[in-house]
Structure 1
C-alpha cells in the first residue's frame, strides 16, 4: 500500500539548491543545499525512512554525497517528514548530523512521542517503516530565528501552526525562497488540519501571513514546486478562506 518502487528524482532549482521528489505514499519532498564554503550538505526534511535509499541514489545522480550531510532542518513533526531521521542517524552513526526543529516539534522528538508523530487515525505504526521511534537530540529553533548557512543562503524561521502544532516555514528573502512544509502546495492546495494539533483557524491565519511574503520559489512538502510562488500562495489563501462558508 505504502511502498512501491522508490525513486527520488533530483533537480537543481537554482545553483546549489536541489529538489528531490516524494517517492511513495506517506513520503515527502526533500531539499538539499550544497554548501561549498564548508564542503557540507544541508537537508530539509527526511521522508519516511523507507525512501532513504532512493534519496541516496537520487543525490548520487546529481553529484551529491549523502555522507556530507551535517545538518537536518525539519518543517514539522509528522511521520512522512521525520521518520527518515532514524534511518539517517543509523546510516550516519559514525558522524551524525545535527537536527533542528521548532521547539514544539523538538520536544516531541526529544521525548520519542510516537502518538504525536504518527496520528492514530492513520492506522499505521513506525514498525511498518522499519524504524523504532526513540528519543533523539534536537536543537530547538525559535520564532523569527535566522539561519545563516553560507553567504548565499540565509533563512528566517516563521511559526505557522494549523497543519500541526510544530509547523514552521523557512524563508530566504534575498533569493525569495519559501520552504513551507505542509502549509501550502501548488494549485491552491493546503495542509490538512484534522490531525492532532491541527486547527483550521490557525491554518488560515498562517497562510494569510505567508501570503504577505515575497516568494518566487515555492518548495512545498508534497506535489510539485513552483517558480511563481506568490501566485500559488494567493490561490491557496483564497481556497482556505473559502472554507468559512462551509464551517
Structure 2
C-alpha cells in the first residue's frame, strides 16, 4: 500500500545500517534517494559506511545531495555533523517534527562520534542547534519515537554532551 506513496528516501547519514536496503526500496517504489552532501562518499566506500562490520561490501547507492537549508517534502535540512561529517537532521516547523537520524536520541542520549569522520565537538554544536528548535516529536535512527514533548529530550542530550 505504501509503494505508490513513497517518492523520496532521505538517508540521514551514510552508515550501512541505515542505507543497506535503500536501493531495493527505491526500485520498488520508483523513488529518489537523497543524502547530506558530505556523506555522499559513504555510499561507495566500505570503510566509511562500516559495511564490512556487517559482513557485506558496500553496494553503490545513487543519491542526490542535500545541503543545509534545502527543503524536501516540507522538511528543512540541517547539516548536523558529529555522528558522521555529513549527517543531517530534518525539521518540519509547522508541527515540530524532528527526524534526527543518529544525531540525537530520546532520554538525553546522542549518537556515537568515534566512527570515521565523527567528531565530538561537531556533535556538541549540532545537538545544541537542534535544542534551539521548537521540537515536539523526535524520530531518531534507533528506538521508539517521542510523540510529544520531545524538546526536553533534545535539551537533555545537549546538557549531557556539554
TM-score, reference length from structure 2: 0.91
Q: Secondary structure of the equivalent of 2:54?
A: coil
Task: Say whether the 8 Å CA contact 1:207–1:233 is kept in structure 2.
Answer: yes
Give the whole-Å Cα distance in 1 for the aligned partners of 2:60 and 2:11: 16
By how many angstroms is 1:218 displaced?
A: 0.9
1:124 to 45, 54, 77: 54
Give the whole-Å Cα distance in 2 for the aligned partners of 1:119 and 1:166: 17
Match of residue 35 from structure 2: 101
Task: Say whether the 8 Å CA contact 2:80–2:87 is kept in structure 1.
Answer: yes
By how many angstroms is 1:134 displaced?
A: 2.9
Match of residue 230 from structure 1: 151
Task: Give the structure with higher Rg (CA).
Answer: 1
Residue 191 (1) aligns with residue 125 (2): no
Q: How many residues were matched structurally?
A: 161
In structure 2, relative to structure 1, the CA distance for the partners of 1:191 and 1:156 (3 Å cut) is same
By how many angstroms is 1:133 displaced?
A: 2.9
* Structure with higher RCO (Cα < 8 A, 6+ apart): 2
Task: Say whether the 8 Å CA contact 1:176–1:215 is kept in structure 2.
Answer: yes
Task: Say whether the 8 Å CA contact 1:100–1:106 is kept in structure 2.
Answer: no
Give the whole-Å Cα distance in 2 for the aligned partners of 1:119 and 1:108: 10
Q: Secondary structure of the equivalent of 1:170?
A: strand
Q: Secondary structure of the equivalent of 2:69?
A: coil
Q: Which runs of 5+ in 1 are unaligned?
A: 1-63, 127-131, 242-247
C-alpha RMSD of matched pairs (Å): 1.8
Match of residue 80 from structure 1: 17
1:5-154, aligned counterparts within 5 Å? 64-89=1-26, 92=28, 96-109=30-43, 112-118=44-50, 123-126=53-56, 133-147=58-72, 149=73, 154=74
Q: Secondary structure of the equivalent of 2:113?
A: coil
Give the whole-Å Cα distance in 2 for the aligned partners of 1:89 and 1:172: 23
Q: Which runs of 5+ in 2 are unaligned?
A: none
Give the whole-Å Cα distance in 1 for the aligned partners of 2:42 and 2:154: 29
Task: Say whether the 8 Å CA contact 1:119–1:196 is kept in structure 2.
Answer: no
Give the whole-Å Cα distance in 2 for the aligned partners of 1:167 and 1:136: 16
By how many angstroms is 1:228 displaced?
A: 1.1
By how many angstroms is 1:119 displaced?
A: 6.4
